[in-house]
Structure 1
Amino acid sequence: MAGNSDPLTPRAKLAVTAGKAVAAASRAAGRGSGSVIGGRVALKLDPDLLARLAQNLDVVLVSATNGKTTTTRLIAEALRAAGPVVSNALGANMPAGITSALAGRSEARYGVIEVDEKYLAGVARDTDPKCIALLNLSRDQLDRAAETRMLAENWREGLAGSKAVVVANADDPLVVWAASSSPNVIWVAAGQMWKDDAWSCPSCGGVMQRPGDDWFCGECGFRRPTPSWALSGDHVLDPHGSAWPIHLQLPGRANKANAASSAAVAAVFGVPPQVALERMYQVQAVAGRYDVVQFEGRDLRLLLAKNPAGWLETFSLIDPPPTPVILSVNARGADGTDTSWLWDVDYTRLTGHPICVIGDRKLDLAVRLEVANQQFQVCENLDQAVQLCPPGRIEVIANYTAFQDLRRRVGN
């Protein structure tokens, strides 16, 4: 809890100072925020620095394949009702980036930390979280994370016996399997649009039965737990059965689900649902996602979609045809270099939209759209694609590094 004596040793203070200096030099050289390189330097000088920085904080960890950056922002807003918050709001979610974020913590009481799925168990060991939010697990970066069940197994082993309250999505069998090793779980019915990674039972490998919104394994009896929180339309239902309205500036059902999980987390810290949900309205955009920017006389809405589950959710919130859509896909290190996931996305949902295709892997995407019988044009860059679109609104959907490229081009 904040207010205790300073946990930082002289060595830790030196590590923090050195990390900040390196980060500042990186920013001055125009090489990004510097948070990752700064954190790496700091951890080299003091490998225990993350644990020391977290010592005086009530920590929430947020992990998932989709939605963790947004949910981290929503939780941080909600907890500010109870005290100052430090958070890795820009999404640097591996130990170096997390260390950098906490090093600038000043007098924070709460640490709300987004964590890459593969690092969750280690970061949980270091930070001794009071609460861990687990939203979903689906295929992503196929060259890096071979199998979602292995990630679920890592979570399950890493969280076994954890003292943290785990707030977990009851609708994702992989998340339920991972969270079930924890002694203290709060289940949230947050929904699961993408189901293609959860047709076999993570417990025994049997075929999962999915009647309606329920699910269970017909062979071993592993089944959906009874949720105490639920997303119901535009409301969050709390454990007492009260319905609280969700008012968000962020679009789509997925963000309502993120708000439901965030309200459950806030309640762990004593922030009531009404207060938590009202504060979440402050969040307009998350690291540029959902921003509408003016460019070449058009209104571009920037949407991030990194994997099949994310594309499916994004298609559900774009304006109806004939709104033009620009798609951009890269396959650099941060994206994962394997683009075979494009074949898992149902691009027939774009029927009726004029489509322009850009990005490093525009030809891979063009082949996929051709097979899906979509009308599209391949363009050299964003400027050319925008010129081909009529005046007005354009939906721009990009994966991770393609999204960063777009933000730089439009000055966002």
Structure 2
Amino acid sequence: MSDLPLRSQLAVALGRTAAKMSRLAGKGDGSVIGGRIGLRLDPELLTRLAKDRKLVLVSATNGKTTTTRLITSAMTPLGEVATNAFGANMPTGHVSALASAPSAQYGVLECDEKYVPQVLRETGASLVALMNLSRDQMDRAAEIWQLAGKWRRALAESPGTHVIANCDDPLVTWGASTASGVIWVAAGQHWREDSWCCPECGGPLDRQEGEENSDWACRQCHFRRPTPQWALHGDHVVDPHGRQIPLGGIQLPGRANRSNAAIALAVVAQFGVPPEQALPLLAQVKSVAGRYTTVEHQGRTLRLLLSKNPAGWLEAFDVLQPAPGPVALAVNAQGPDGRDTSWLWDVDYRILRGRPVFVSGERRIDLAARLEAADVQFTVVDDFEQAVMSVPPGHLDVIANYTAFQDIRTRYGRVV
């Protein structure tokens, strides 16, 4: 930190002060406001803080917070790792993360999909992990093909950056394919509704159906799935040497988190951390920024699941307690959620049939209309507490989008 110009040192100090005041006022962890003030005082602060560090950028529509946490945990044998652990994934959050760990040689930064080109340009990150692209907050986010195109251009202009990419997602494959070096991971693609057409020519993609990770190819041009060096198969990963690595110790539930773990293993291997050393460290991660955590309330055990888009709801359904276990759903439409809730109609809610389902949140009527069309029986409640107290003591799965999730965490306990 002492190598920074005086102006940059002042920017960091004032940013830290603002972040501390934000925490004391109960307004969050202060990452955003601290970074915003730092960048206002020194617009090149991110570049200065990233200098001489080995950085990993982690980006995807779903799973980037969790995968960032997994990679960070697995890299601890290398020394201190700077990271934005709680999801402040734009340049303001990156500044705060790097400023808070001035002596860390390594950094693992979750990065919003739209900001990958800018952050890559400003940090010169040595490695980028790209996992999936699907529709999300379409009222304010760029069309996902445009995002993949921006990734392509950014990576083509960054010859020193290597990529770990999920080759089961055609859009990710297309976005990553201009990098100077790519290690392909067959990490699976459960949600496929956004990638039936070839991003290279627009032609139809032929797929093998029913497999966790399967071959795909364009019917009209050369574009097809690359041969993976790493591959997820059920509850184990196959590494580039053909060794089978069991994931049974991973405590985060569901196939989406097995995919996240496969990406994490491939990333840390590039830094010399072998799977046998990384696995116990991955297993230490039990919840991420409240995701998958459980809280106790009035004899009920609430498990909190974050789902902010169609792909995320599919992942949440995958880890529900067996039917007829009760489920409480909460949907808002504030700025961080996206104002447009039409994406609810892309989710197949029929899996909830036969369960007690409770609907809450600011846009509960939107969700209720979708459930009614899916022939799912439900109860609309004005306050989430009504849903909790309407089920008998025991387990209750809670699925909520971003701001609804944060409201519930604050109300019932911010266990991390």
State the TM-score, normalized to the length of structure 2.
0.97
Contact 2:129 2:164 in 1 (8 A): yes
The structure 2 residue matched to 1:187, chosen from 184, 189, 196, is 184
Mean alpha-carbon deviation: is it higher for 327-336 or for 142-151?
A: 142-151
The structure 1 residue matched to 2:196, chosen from 178, 199, 211, is 199
- 2: CA distance between counterparts of 1:350 and 1:149? 31
Q: Secondary structure at the match of 2:228?
A: coil
- 1: CA distance between counterparts of 2:111 and 2:365? 33
Contact 1:168 1:185 in 2 (8 A): yes
- Per the TM alignment, residue 6 of structure 1 is displaced from its structure 2 partner at its CA by 4.6
The structure 2 residue matched to 1:103, chosen from 88, 99, 104, is 99
- Are residues 1:253 and 2:250 paired? no
Structure 2 counterparts to residues 19-98 of structure 1, below 5 A: 19-98=15-94
What does residue 315 of structure 1 align with? 317
Structure 2 counterparts to residues 319-338 of structure 1, below 5 A: 319-338=321-340
Contact 1:121 1:154 in 2 (8 A): yes
- Per the TM alignment, residue 211 of structure 1 is displaced from its structure 2 partner at its CA by 2.2
What does residue 146 of structure 2 align with? 150
The structure 1 residue matched to 2:12, chosen from 16, 20, 25, is 16
- Per the TM alignment, residue 158 of structure 1 is displaced from its structure 2 partner at its CA by 1.1
Contact 2:203 2:219 in 1 (8 A): yes
- 2: CA distance between counterparts of 1:191 and 1:237? 13
Q: Secondary structure at the match of 2:295?
A: strand
Deviant stretches of 4+, over 4 Å: none
The structure 2 residue matched to 1:270, chosen from 266, 272, 287, is 272
Contact 1:156 1:180 in 2 (8 A): yes
- 2: CA distance between counterparts of 1:198 and 1:336? 22
Classify 1:408/1:85 alpha carbon distance in 2 versus 1 (closer, same or farther; 3 Å): same
- Per the TM alignment, residue 161 of structure 1 is displaced from its structure 2 partner at its CA by 3.9
Structure 2 counterparts to residues 166-185 of structure 1, below 5 A: 166-185=163-182
What does residue 294 of structure 1 align with? 296
**1:280-338 CA distance string (max 9 Å, x none):** 01101000000011012100000001100010111011111111000000000001100
- What amino acid does structure 1 have at the position aligned with 2:100? G
Contact 1:308 1:345 in 2 (8 A): yes
Mean alpha-carbon deviation: is it higher for 67-76 or for 119-128?
A: 119-128
What does residue 232 of structure 1 align with? 233
> Alignment identity in percent?
59
What does residue 400 of structure 1 align with? 402
- Are residues 1:219 and 2:216 paired? no
Equivalenced residues, count: 408
- Per the TM alignment, residue 106 of structure 1 is displaced from its structure 2 partner at its CA by 3.5
- Are residues 1:124 and 2:124 paired? no
- What amino acid does structure 2 have at the position aligned with 1:404? Q
Q: Secondary structure at the match of 1:306?
A: coil
- What amino acid does structure 2 have at the position aligned with 1:360? E
Q: Secondary structure at the match of 2:395?
A: strand
**1:189-237 CA distance string (max 9 Å, x none):** 0000000000111011111111241111111120000000011111111
- 2: CA distance between counterparts of 1:366 and 1:296? 27
Q: Give the unaligned 5+ runs of structure 2.
A: none
Contact 2:2 2:9 in 1 (8 A): no
What does residue 111 of structure 2 align with? 115
- Per the TM alignment, residue 97 of structure 1 is displaced from its structure 2 partner at its CA by 1.1
The structure 2 residue matched to 1:363, chosen from 362, 365, 378, is 365
- Per the TM alignment, residue 380 of structure 1 is displaced from its structure 2 partner at its CA by 1.2
Q: Secondary structure at the match of 2:329?
A: strand
- Per the TM alignment, residue 7 of structure 1 is displaced from its structure 2 partner at its CA by 3.6
Contact 2:232 2:259 in 1 (8 A): yes
- Per the TM alignment, residue 126 of structure 1 is displaced from its structure 2 partner at its CA by 1.1
- Per the TM alignment, residue 248 of structure 1 is displaced from its structure 2 partner at its CA by 0.9
**1:157-216 CA distance string (max 9 Å, x none):** 111142111000000000000001111000000000000000111011111111241111
Contact 2:128 2:162 in 1 (8 A): yes
Contact 1:166 1:182 in 2 (8 A): yes
